[in-house]
């Protein structure tokens, strides 16, 4: 059975079409690697690539893309609104099919080692690959950004996992790791009161004592004149989408508010939708291998 | 974009392993054809093959399988409980992906012509491919079975669409056509009263004035001591699964009965499950191309 891993590397280039295309070229024309999506942002001056493939070949594509990005991006002259610490900011590996988290972690460490050995770009391992808990969150590693990194690397807790206490002069540092697929899941309310959306968000999220694998904020959808609970579901296998939906629906009742719709941003794993269908339809003995298309690609 | 068609041919052999394997061999080892399932039944003495593939290559596999079945099955000595009119009883072609019903109809007619020209096996076109409405239902064509076919072929309305008014001496006749995917969808009730299941079945089905693309009967699940509404959804794009579920739930209330679960038998197209998830979750702007695995195989 073919193993499928996803990667969503972020590069600090979102304006120059020729450079964007050159980085993308590392993901094209390979057997067993498929480029699924490119999101580029001019204000952020950043691009986010989504690709899937068999582990070895996907890793090769990523390492090649890192080489290209180091050659063509110079962080000393990079301007953009999104925080960043390197020409390649972050590279997550995500187990999708017939692959365990342990395998994704081990792939991320191989990629990290190659990136250091080939290009002398220092690497921090993050999320499930982190060597200590203070390095799990990308935001903690990135704090100080490219400009503050030379000083930060000298601090006791911040020696890179691969490389010395010295950043790459033009490409900075990079975070590489493994994580679960992240699902951006938003729930719309029949109120324009943003305070209610925030109150529900604070209750549903992990830090508020709510669902274990859920981050949430309140959002004002001004054009539609409604408020939204905007969530990141960080492990849908542990906290399914329907649980977040039913939690928000129940909590909204306190305020006499109803759920009027929901939304998934970006791509979602099949199992996340099937789980919720199984719950609402009361389907017995159902799983993704009952789906014709899934069976076809087995 | 690759076109995918499914076929579910029924052969009149369910006992002899060597013969079963020989028929299956027509679907193996081909590029762009995948054998998904085999269901064989000793009492029925019948096998049901499920295969998918690109239209041309799938048609070739089917026509080859027909040739093998004609060579190794002799209906004159065939015994089995399931009604049958030929060594190959029926061959449906089903549009699955990037294929229209018109394309499936045209593929079925090409297959029918080749089957007649190559093997002199007379063919009736049925379902969406039928040349007149009296030939849409397989049961009407099959009535009289193999033994009654010589007489039936001489009747005014029963000249085959391909071939003469004379059946193949050992292989009889075959029905070939195109239809929508059929979903076997069962709903379990918290009562053991089979009369209630039948009353609901008669209301939900097309012939009872209920849902247009739904056939239904009541079933007694003796071991579980519950009754079940057992449905065939004949076009899930017109009558989605969730409509059947909500219809049955509402109707069950008349009798003070609740729905306690549901079940899909066999394989189900991705879109049928996504449709229902969209309904229950109130998902906005969602379709199967938001599913990661579907995007991967595009």
**Token pair belonging to B150:** 């010589």
The proportion of chain A whose per-residue pLDDT surpasses 70, expressed as a percent, equals 100
Average pLDDT over residues B179-199: 96
pLDDT exceeds cutoff 80 at A1 = no
Q: Do residues A273 and B291 lie in contact, with contact meaning Cβ atoms separated by under 8 Å?
A: yes
B182 in contact with chain A, both atoms CB, cutoff 8 A: no
Give pLDDT tens digits for B137-173: 998 999 999 999 999 999 999 999 999 999 999 999 9
Residue A59 token pair: 């890793």
* Residue A130 scores a pLDDT above 90: yes
Which pLDDT band holds residue A297 (cuts at 50, 70, 90)?
Answer: confident
- Residue B1 confidence (pLDDT): 72
From the list B261, B262, B292, the residue facing A268 with the nearest CB is B292
Chain B contact for A255 (CB, 8 A cutoff): no
Cα–Cα dist A86/A167, whole Å: 9
Q: Are B186 and B262 in contact (CB under 8 A)?
A: yes
A82 is catalytic: yes
Q: How far is A253 from chain B (nearest CA, A)?
A: 17
Is the Cβ–Cβ distance between B158 and B147 less than 8 Å? no
Is A268–B291 a contact, with Cβ atoms under 8 angstroms apart? yes
Six-digit token string for A296:
């076809």
Is the Cβ–Cβ distance between A105 and A128 less than 8 Å?
A: yes
**Of residues A277, A270, A275, the one with CA closest to residue A297:** A270
Residue A47 phi/psi, 5° resolution?
-130, 145
Residue A298's pLDDT is 72
Query: Residue B80: which pLDDT band, with cuts at 50, 70 and 90?
Result: confident
Q: Where are the beta strands (DSSP E) in chain B?
A: 4-7, 10-11, 33-41, 46-53, 88-97, 123-127, 174-178, 183-189, 214-221, 226-233, 259-265
The average pLDDT across A64-90 equals: 95
pLDDT tens-digit readout, A100-127: 999 999 999 999 999 999 999 999 999 9
- The pLDDT of residue A64 is above 90: yes
Q: Going by DSSP bridges, is the β-strand pair B226-233/B183-189 parallel, antiparallel, or unpaired?
A: antiparallel
Given a cut of 90, is residue B77 above it in pLDDT? yes
A198 touches chain B (CB under 8 A): no
- The answer to whether A163 and A210 have CB atoms below 8 angstroms apart is no
**Residue A181 with chain B: CB contacts under 8 Å:** 292
Q: What is the pLDDT of residue A197?
A: 97
Which residues of B are catalytically annotated? 82
Please count the CA atoms within 13 angstroms of the CA of A177 that sit on its side-chain side: 22
Chain B contact present for A229, CB below 8 A: no
> Hey, are the CB atoms on B283 and A267 less than 8 Å from each other?
no
Express the helix, strand and coil content of chain B in percent, nearest 5 each.
40, 25, 35
| pLDDT above 80: residue B43 | yes
Across the A/B interface, how many CB contacts are shorter than 8 Å? 124
CA count, 13 A, side-chain hemisphere, B60: 12
Asked if the C-beta of B258 comes within 8 angstroms of chain A's C-beta atoms, the answer is no
Average pLDDT, chain B: 95
On the question of pLDDT at B2 being above 90, the answer is: no
Asked if B18 is an interface residue toward chain A (Cβ–Cβ < 8 A), one would say no
pLDDT digits (tens, 9 = 90+) for B81-118: 888 999 999 999 999 989 999 999 999 999 999 999 99
SS (H, E, C) A97-122: ECCCHHHHHHHHHHHHHHHHHHHCCC
Secondary structure percentages of chain A, helix, strand, coil, to 5: 40, 25, 35
φ/ψ of residue A10, rounded to 5: -110, 125
Within 8 A of B263 by CB-CB distance, chain A residues are 283-286
Higher pLDDT pick, A37 / B278: B278
- For residue range A135-180, what is the model confidence (pLDDT) as tens digits? 999 989 999 999 999 999 999 999 999 999 999 999 999 999 999 9
- The rounded distance, in Å, linking the Cα atoms of B180 and A74 is 56
pLDDT at position B27 over 80: yes
* pLDDT tens digits, B171-187: 999 999 999 999 999 99
Instruction: State residue A94's pLDDT score.
Output: 97
What per-residue confidence (pLDDT) applies to A53? 96
| pLDDT at res. B249 | 98
Indicate if the pLDDT at residue B241 is higher than 80.
Answer: yes
Asked if the Cβ–Cβ distance from B245 to A283 is below 8 Å, we say: no
Query: Can you give the pLDDT at residue B132?
Result: 94
> Which residue, A47, A45, A46, A29, is CA-closest to A37?
A47
Per the listing, tokens 């979750």 go with: B281
CA gap B161, B224 in Å, rounded: 47
What does the pLDDT read at residue B183? 95
According to the model, what pLDDT value does residue A296 have?
A: 84
Determine whether the interchain pair B273/A273 forms a contact, defined as Cβ–Cβ distance below 8 Å. yes
Which of A181, A262, A290 has its CB closest to that of B282?
A262
For residue A241, pLDDT over 90 is answered with yes
* Alpha-carbon gap, residue A118 to A111, rounded angstroms: 10
Q: What is the Cα B176 distance to its own chain's centre? A: 11
Asked if A269 reaches chain B (Cβ–Cβ under 8 Å), the answer is yes
Question: Residue B270: pLDDT above 90?
Answer: yes
Which of B33, B280, B293 is best to mutate for the A interface (most A CBs within 10 A)? B293
Query: What pLDDT is stored for residue A135 in this prediction?
Result: 96
Q: CB distance from A221 to chain B under 8 Å?
A: no
Catalytic residue chosen out of the listed positions A39, A44, A78, A82 = A82
pLDDT tens-digit series, residues A185-206: 999 999 999 999 999 999 999 9
Give the pLDDT score at B82.
86
**Mean pLDDT confidence for B277-290:** 95
Over residues B9-14, the mean pLDDT reads 96
pLDDT of residue A168: 98
Rounded CA-CA distance A40/A49 in Å is: 9
């Amino acid at each position: 059975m073919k193993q499928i891993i996803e990667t969503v590397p972020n590069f600090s280039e979102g304006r120059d079409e020729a450079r964007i295309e050159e980085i993308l070229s590392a993901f094209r024309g390979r057997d067993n690697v498929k480029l699924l999506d490119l999101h580029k942002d001019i204000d952020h001056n950043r691009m986010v690539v989504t690709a899937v493939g068999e582990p070895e070949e996907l890793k090769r594509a990523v390492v090649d893309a890192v080489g290209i990005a180091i050659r063509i991006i110079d962080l000393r002259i990079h301007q953009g609104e999104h925080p960043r610490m390197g020409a390649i900011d972050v590279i997550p590996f995500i187990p999708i099919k017939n692959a365990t988290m342990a395998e994704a972690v081990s792939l991320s460490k191989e990629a990290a080692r190659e990136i250091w050995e080939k290009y002398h770009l220092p690497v921090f391992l993050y999320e499930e690959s982190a060597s200590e808990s203070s390095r799990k969150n990308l935001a903690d590693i990135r704090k100080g950004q490219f400009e503050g990194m030379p000083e930060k690397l000298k601090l006791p807790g911040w020696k890179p996992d691969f490389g010395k206490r010295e950043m790459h002069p033009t490409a900075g540092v990079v975070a590489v790791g493994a994580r679960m697929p992240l699902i951006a899941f938003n729930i719309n309310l029949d109120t324009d009161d943003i305070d209610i959306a925030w109150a529900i968000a604070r209750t549903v999220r992990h830090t508020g004592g709510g669902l274990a694998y859920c981050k949430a904020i309140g959002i004002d959808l001004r054009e539609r004149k409604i408020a939204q609970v905007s969530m990141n579901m960080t492990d849908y296998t542990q906290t399914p989408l329907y649980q977040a939906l039913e939690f928000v629906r129940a909590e909204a009742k306190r305020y006499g508010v109803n759920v009027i719709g929901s939304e998934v941003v970006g791509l979602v794993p099949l199992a996340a939708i099937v789980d919720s269908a199984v719950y609402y339809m009361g389907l017995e003995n159902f799983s993704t291998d009952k789906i014709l298309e899934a069976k076809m690609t087995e």
